Chains A and B, each alone.
Chain A
Amino acid sequence: SQQGEEDPQALSIQEGENATMNCSYKTSINNLQWYRQNSGRGLVHLILIRSNEREKHSGRLRVTLDTSKKSSSLLITASRAADTASYFCATENTGNQFYFGTGTSLTVIP
């Protein structure tokens, strides 16, 4: 079963633009992560944000977390064609259960 819902389901942008995708979840969490998956391949862990953190940066990635709204966003700045992939949020809830969101399919057009 899955806990998170992501929007948009699909996003298409020009190279150099910023991409923002959102994740909403249902129950209290210990932490939230974002993963990337290239077509038909395994997932790559991008970034983790803990429930007591509000914002985190890693290179061109910026993640925010609003526990009052049970939502998170992933911003990819200055996007590149190589960023084309599916992006999933994943949450570890306070019962130590781990769920993936529905995913956002990002296409960056060169």
Chain B
Amino acid sequence: DTEVTQTPKHLVMGMTNKKSLKCEQHMGHRAMYWYKQKAKKPPELMFVYSYEKLSINESVPSRFSPECPNSSLLNLHLHALQPEDSALYLCASSQADRPYEQYFGPGTRLTVT
């Protein structure tokens, strides 16, 4: 199984809502990533988990809160988002010692109203 799954595919939320994005992989990868991608731009790294521990936080606002409950799951909790946070949120995974070979999920298209 070389698939990374993400749910939901689409999410519309108000600025006062709390929601979560979910990502799952069963490839035995011990590194997982969250990226944010705006239209016609490259993905921007947000967070990296390695062996279920947060290893990189690229100065992301606290309204984004990642969580890695186990080696297969990665969540991104959202609270009090702004309209400019609307984007495609991509999850990826890799072997911990091969961060350059990442497998991406299809993404969650988030719209903040």
Contact = CB atoms under 8 A, between A and B. Distances in A.
What range describes how many residues of A lie at the interface?
20 to 34
Contacts of B109: 40
Nearest to B105: A42
B42 A48 contact: no
Interface residues of B, number: 21
B104 A44 contact: yes
Which secondary structure dominates where chain A touches chain B?
strand
B107 A41 contact: yes
A45 B101 contact: yes
Interface in B77-113: 88, 90, 92, 99-107, 109
Nearest to B100: A92
A42 B99 contact: no
Contacts of B102: 43, 45, 98
Nearest to A4: B42
A100 B42 contact: yes
Given A31-B100, A48-B100, A48-B101, A102 B42 contact: yes
B88 A40 contact: yes
Interface string A38-76: 001111110010000000000000000000000000000
Contacts of A25: none
A90 interface: yes
A90 B100 contact: yes
A42 B6 CA distance: 10
Interface of B: 4, 6, 40-45, 88, 90, 92, 99-107, 109
Interface of A: 1-2, 30-31, 33, 35, 40-45, 48, 88, 90, 92, 96, 98-103, 105
